[in-house]
Amino acid sequence: MTPTAALAATGQSIWLDNITRTLLESGTLAHYIAQFNVTGLTSNPTIFEKAIAGGSVYDPQVRDLAAKGLGVEAAFFECAIDDLRRAADHFGPIHSATNGIDGFVSLEVSPLLANDTKATIEQAVQLHAKANRRNLYIKVPGTPEGCPAIEELIFRGIPINVTLLFSREHYIAAAEAYTRGIERRVAAGLPAFVSSVASVFISRWDRATSKALPVDLQNTVGIAMAGRILKASLDHAATPRWKALAAKGAQVQRVLWASTGTKDPALSKCMYVDVLGTTDSVNTMPEETLLALVSGGKPQGRMPSDGVAAEAALAAATNAGVDLAKVAAELQIEGRDSFNKSWNDLIAKIGEKMQSVR
């Protein structure tokens, strides 16, 4: 059994955290689907900034959009949606075979709307309608302003990838928003099934805490936090409240492990993906990590679900002086700001391309 097949056998979906037009046109994505068990993909402003600014492949479309008088943000979404429609079509058979549970691609609303609930809802509705693909997630940050938008969008039947989650408390807020949206649908006589994933960022924990920890505790917090959140998700799914919705056809909001690549050359590139396999979950990984998994990964089966080892590791980090709640809040803000910067860079570079091709 190949490493990717072994990871998929734990019940986890393997997604690619990347999209470029070259990836689509070269047949590489189709190869990953056929050979490496890839069943979906994610995108974000940083990924699109690198893809569009990194060469000339998008120039013909940018030239056409500039000639039509489109604004820079509108031009970006045209380019992104074209790519994601094509990717969604690649994953369409998987989406159908899994009855709408897997085979998704993701498009993020403008991160500049992270503090504006109403504008987030409006743009999410517009983007999902424009893309016109059932297997497109709209990514919405799980911030205090984002959670009401998530509830409303789920109620409206729009699949949501909740992003920028770092702690159990962040996850619970996202799960509550999702659950309330489903409850409102049931109360309104609408189908209970609307797909969603909750994206939990892993490696950023270790980059944020390692300097404050002794050597034996470094690079342990991210995996431990995943264990804590997995336990919370299982506890939520076991409540009478959720079971009542499941009986009406609701699908559990799957946890999605994001930021699962390693940047420290001293660490195995598969450090996170090898140990985070579990049922009803997704792991979206950078292309470099996927290829490392294919060539030398050693998936270790399903991760512990009782949270015992996770809580012991988090207690050790706390005793060493790490304020987990404070770090989680800082990471969510830093993640939002990082996406804001990538978005601004992306918009500026598309603007430059539009000027240069006019």
Residues annotated catalytic, as ranges = 139
Closest by alpha carbon to 288, among 303, 305, 268? Answer: 268
The answer to whether the CB of 44 falls within 8 A of the CB of 19 is no
DSSP code at position 171:
H
- Interatomic CA distance for residues 64 and 159, integer angstroms: 31
Q: Quick one: CA dihedral 83, 86, 92, 94, positive or negative?
A: negative
Sheet of strand 105-108, all strands in order from the earlier edge strand to the far edge: 38-41, 12-16, 281-285, 254-258, 196-201, 160-165, 136-141, 105-108
The answer to whether the CB of 84 falls within 8 A of the CB of 47 is no
The answer to whether the CB of 284 falls within 8 A of the CB of 17 is yes
- Interatomic CA distance for residues 246 and 93, integer angstroms: 25
Residue 98 has, within 13 A of its CA and on its CB side, a CA count of 20
DSSP state string for 49-86:
HHHHHTSSTTHHHHHHHHHTT--HHHHHHHHHHHHHHH
Strands (DSSP E) found in 202-345: 254-258, 281-285
